[in-house]
Amino acid sequence: MKGAGTSRSRQQVTLEIRGFSSEGAGVGSLPDGRVVFVHRTVPGDRARVELTELRRRWGRGRLLHLETEGPSRRVAPCPHQPRCGGCPLEHLEYPAQLDAKRSRIQEALRRIGKLDELPVIELHPSPREFHYRNRVSFTLRRLRGDRVVAGFREVDRPDRILDVDEACLLPEEAVAQAWGGLRRSWGSGAVRLPPGRELRLTLRGTVEGQVLLLVEGGRAPEGEGTSAGAQALLADVPDLAAIWHREGPGRPPRLLAGAPRLEEVWYGEPHTVRPGAFLQVNREAAGLLHDLVLRELAPPRGRTLVDAYCGIGVYGRRAARHGGRAVGIELDPQAAAEGRARAPEGFRLLEGAVEDRLAEALPADLVVLNPPRSGVAPGVMERLASTPPERIVYVSCDPATLARDLARLGEGFRLRRLQAVDLFPQTAHIETVVTLDRTGDGSRSRTSIPSNGIPSNGA
């Protein structure tokens, strides 16, 4: 073991598992109070664990065997799950997964956000527990003797790649079929893919069942024009519609073969499906999330809306079509260009970072924040506090950064409603929708709860 406080190698202990980490590992404690994270354990387990890493305040362990099983444990349906790092909660019954995510939201808002009381969390399960992802990324590693391993990183050994075939329960059916066909068709040593020891392969499926493949890493195929290997893959894998390659981060993707442009409709808006474009991975649960946000923004007629971190501006465009005026703010140049090209009357889009352009869009009646996992940049919540809208709807994919940002907002708003949608079954991730209303007297009560309460939709 490494780290401060280590006295013996590969020490074994028995732990009572009481909760989950943000990564989906079970959490127990040593007699000295140090927290230990152990994958493949659940609350209620009494687990015999080998300590693999031990530091001053925390450690990691590997499950050896269970002395007692927790009440919500199940046999994981996927054959890859015992070693695969892709689904850290699959051994937990789905209702218990939802309970764990509800507890994670509550704990973050109370501990980090310093919110003493909270509305009841309305938690909506995913319509699909399995086969819900329209986008999946695998790692391909070339080994000696033209051997290839391709899949997810191992749960307790992330330096190793576990070979995962189309039996994986995460992808939508069309994406899983394309992955199986790709594995059977890429040739010895994956010769039909760009050269390089390790590649990242991202498959993205459309609602019509077309699949785009983005290969990242390695070297660009030699010569000009379309790659012969990619052309052969398209011929042999019917579900593949296009193959792109990007040599590294920040480099523009290059089309190797197939359709240069795919489109599909989300929330009534046409979207271009392109390498690197952001669209939620769970299309059915994303539709539910979209409707929840719109409900919190209604009615838009005669009101002004700021749609921050907007992509092509779905919420702003909807408000403009229903009689409001809206401003979107988006950093990605391609998304911003697409949003401007299809903008309805009453909607304009500012390209750039939200922290740099927000002042131009204020004041507003309504603000939607839909930032990446890292949350909003410093200064954004402070700007909203100084020019407060009537309502802020914050869509978050990380309870910790959400809680941090709410604390930055300071006084002047009341947390009216807490909703959550499980976009990522079998993982510890959860999408949260927080509705904040400006208080009439200009002071925010950090313990105020709506007098009528908000009923939970349950798990």
Q: What is the pLDDT of residue 2?
A: 46
The full set of domains in the chain, from first to last, is 12-73 (2.40.50.140), 101-127+279-438 (3.40.50.150), 135-262 (2.40.50.1070)
Q: What is the 8-class DSSP label of residue 137?
A: E
Average pLDDT over the chain reads 90
Q: Between these two residues, 101 and 312, which has the higher pLDDT value?
A: 101
Q: Between these two residues, 267 and 401, which has the higher pLDDT value?
A: 401
Query: Which of 175-189, 212-226, 324-338, 345-359 comes out lowest in average pLDDT?
Result: 212-226
Taking the C-alpha atoms of residue 214 and residue 21, their distance in angstroms, rounded to an integer, is 31
Neighbours of 270 (CB within 10 A): 11
Phi and psi of 258, rounded to 5°?
100, -165
Q: For 267-301, what is each residue's pLDDT tens digit?
A: 777 778 888 777 789 999 999 999 999 999 988 89
Q: What is the pLDDT of residue 142?
A: 97
Could you tell me if 305 and 315 are in contact, meaning their C-beta atoms sit under 8 angstroms apart? yes
Span 438-445, average pLDDT:
58
Could you tell me if 396 and 371 are in contact, meaning their C-beta atoms sit under 8 angstroms apart? yes
Q: Is the pLDDT of residue 447 over 50?
A: no
Q: First and final CA of the chain: distance in angstroms?
A: 40
Taking the C-alpha atoms of residue 448 and residue 334, their distance in angstroms, rounded to an integer, is 42
Q: Is the pLDDT of residue 454 over 70?
A: no
Span 358-382, average pLDDT:
96
Q: Is the pLDDT of residue 95 over 90?
A: yes
Could you tell me if 48 and 14 are in contact, meaning their C-beta atoms sit under 8 angstroms apart? yes
Span 85-90, average pLDDT:
94
Q: What is the pLDDT of residue 223?
A: 57
Q: What is the pLDDT of residue 444?
A: 38
- Residue 397 among the catalytic residues: yes
Q: What is the pLDDT of residue 441?
A: 52
Q: For 57-81, what is each residue's pLDDT tens digit?
A: 999 999 999 999 999 999 999 989 9
pLDDT interval class at 122 (50, 70, 90): very high
pLDDT interval class at 248 (50, 70, 90): confident
Q: For 108-121, what is each residue's pLDDT tens digit?
A: 999 999 998 899 99
Residues with Cβ < 8 Å from 404, sequence gap 6 or more? 112, 113, 375
Span 118-140, average pLDDT:
96
Q: Which sign does the torsion angle of CA 187, 189, 192, 198 carry?
A: positive
Span 194-208, average pLDDT:
94
Span 374-390, average pLDDT:
96
Tokens of 328: 């979107």
pLDDT interval class at 451 (50, 70, 90): very low
Q: For 317-360, what is each residue's pLDDT tens digit?
A: 999 999 999 999 999 998 898 889 878 999 999 999 999 999 99
Could you tell me if 84 and 158 are in contact, meaning their C-beta atoms sit under 8 angstroms apart? no
